[in-house]
Amino acid sequence: MSTTLFDTAPDFSQPIAVLKHCHDRIRKQLQTMQNLLGHLPKHGADAEAQQAAQAVLKYFNKAAHLHHEDEEQNLIPMLQATAREADAALLAELVPGILAGHQQMDKDWSIIKSQLEQIANGASSTLSANDVTRFCDTYAVHMVVEESNIAPMAKRLFSAEQMAQLGSAMQVRRGITPDLPISQVPEQQAAPSNNTVADGVVLADLRLDYGRASLTEHDVLDDPIAQFGKWFEEALHAKVNEPNAMSVATVDADGKPSSRIVLIKQYDSRGFTWYTNYESQKGQQLRANPHAALLFFWSELERQVRIEGKVVQTAAEESDKYFYSRPVKSQIAAIASQQSAPIANRELMEINYEAAAAASGEHPVRPAHWGGFRLDPERIEFWQGRRSRFHDRIVYVKQADGSWVKERLQP
């Protein structure tokens, strides 16, 4: 007979097994809370009670929410994109309850958390049996539904590539660098080449099969600016890394393109606004050719937005308003830097900054060469990644009268 000395956990190559392992750990913490209900009246917030409360707090504060995000942001959207007929109908029935369960458990946890914190530091020995019972019962039913329906469906429907995608997303969420799948390279291609990235991974094989959501002509709003706002809010809610970062592509007088990442500062019915040095490379190119293309890519949501149009400078009043809203050090940096111009070294940059700071004092003045650009959109495309590179693309094109016409594009 063999007994394991530690609690073994599946690795992320088995993401559904990892989710079940999370459930098992949750059950242990729920049992600890129930044990506390019996312990506290007899022994108060003694060292054992404090240790138990600390263990429960640590798990539900740091780990449990990751499990919910695994389901909400990866597992459920992937199933919704994959399931058909009876499976799709079952998901439509179950998912609202699962999401409502997450919200209820988060609400109940906030109540129990404050009680456990008092117990953990020995300040109180009160733990509400009603609050604990409600929390435990909600979790118990929730986990049974997932283990009886969601997990078996995922194991049955997901391809190996989808399982790898789910496992990788779960690793990233936990701050773990996922292992990239290594494709078998034929022997005659085994030597390193310009197409090999690292560790035998072939550049052409670096791909993910998207499956979080879909996009139809009926899903989008009639106004593309409003639709952008809707997606932008969803990116904020999903905690996308720098959702306001966009690529700005411009073309010089000779037709040579260049692009860079900037941060959008405003969007409204007039267009999309960012601020920069008018003498920078992009400023000079926009003087020669006042047209640009913007690109937002939100990988966590498998979405991109492409925007094309004519660019104008913002009014001086608008540039002033934004400039003076910036931290003083950022204002001084805008004065000190001749953006895109060569300079000998970093030390000279620092000298220029100190000189600008000394001259500006506590109230820098916006230089005439610094201000805003606004792109007035003529074409806006919303792209949603889908399985097998069969993506959804909905484009809006502005008409002569200012109205918008939308249509689907082939991937």
Q: Is 182 annotated as a binding residue?
A: no
The pair of three-digit structure tokens given for residue 395, joined into one six-digit string: 């484009």
Quick one: pLDDT at residue 241? 86
Distances (CA, A) of 242 to 91, 189, 334: 32, 38, 22
Annotated catalytic residues are 389
Would the pLDDT of 399 be above 80? yes
Would the pLDDT of 201 be above 70? no
Quick one: pLDDT at residue 371? 96
Q: Is 332 annotated as a binding residue?
A: no
Quick one: pLDDT at residue 211? 58
**Domains of the chain, first to last:** 15-174 (1.20.120.520), 224-408 (2.30.110.10)
Quick one: pLDDT at residue 10? 73
Would the pLDDT of 202 be above 60? no
Where does residue 119 fall: left (phi above 0), alpha (psi -120 to 50 degrees), or beta otherwise?
alpha
Would the pLDDT of 210 be above 60? no
Quick one: pLDDT at residue 183? 34
Long-range contacts of 283-286 (CB under 8 A, 24+ apart): 283/339, 283/373, 284/252, 285/250, 285/251, 285/252, 285/253, 285/258, 286/250, 286/311, 286/373
Q: Is 113 annotated as a binding residue?
A: no
- Judge contact between 282 and 260, C-beta under 8 A: yes
Mean pLDDT lowest among 203-212, 313-322, 337-346:
203-212
- Judge contact between 339 and 250, C-beta under 8 A: no
95-138, pLDDT tens digit by residue?
Answer: 999 999 999 999 999 999 999 999 999 999 999 999 999 999 99
Q: Write the DSSP string, 31-83.
A: HHHHHHHHHHHHH-S-HHHHHHHHHHHHHHHHTHHHHHHIIIIIIHHHHHHH-
Averaged pLDDT for residues 369-382:
97
48-57, pLDDT tens digit by residue?
Answer: 999 999 999 9
Q: Average pLDDT of the chain? A: 87
Q: Is 373 annotated as a binding residue?
A: no
Would the pLDDT of 372 be above 90? yes
Q: Is 264 annotated as a binding residue?
A: yes
Quick one: pLDDT at residue 343? 92
Share of the chain above pLDDT 70, in %: 89
The pair of three-digit structure tokens given for residue 183, joined into one six-digit string: 């494709």
Would the pLDDT of 398 be above 50? yes
Q: Is 60 annotated as a binding residue?
A: no
Q: Is 393 annotated as a binding residue?
A: yes
Quick one: pLDDT at residue 264? 95
Q: Give the H or E element holding residue 359.
A: helix 346-360
Tell which wins on pLDDT, 175 or 182: 175
The pair of three-digit structure tokens given for residue 167, joined into one six-digit string: 């496992």
Q: What is the dihedral of CA 399, 401, 406, 411, to 10 degrees?
A: 10
150: DSSP letter: I
246-293, pLDDT tens digit by residue?
Answer: 999 999 999 999 999 999 999 999 999 999 999 999 999 999 999 999
Would the pLDDT of 184 be above 50? no
67-92, pLDDT tens digit by residue?
Answer: 889 999 999 999 998 899 999 999 99
Tell which wins on pLDDT, 377 or 238: 377
Tell which wins on pLDDT, 152 or 210: 152
Tell which wins on pLDDT, 172 or 289: 289
Quick one: pLDDT at residue 217? 86
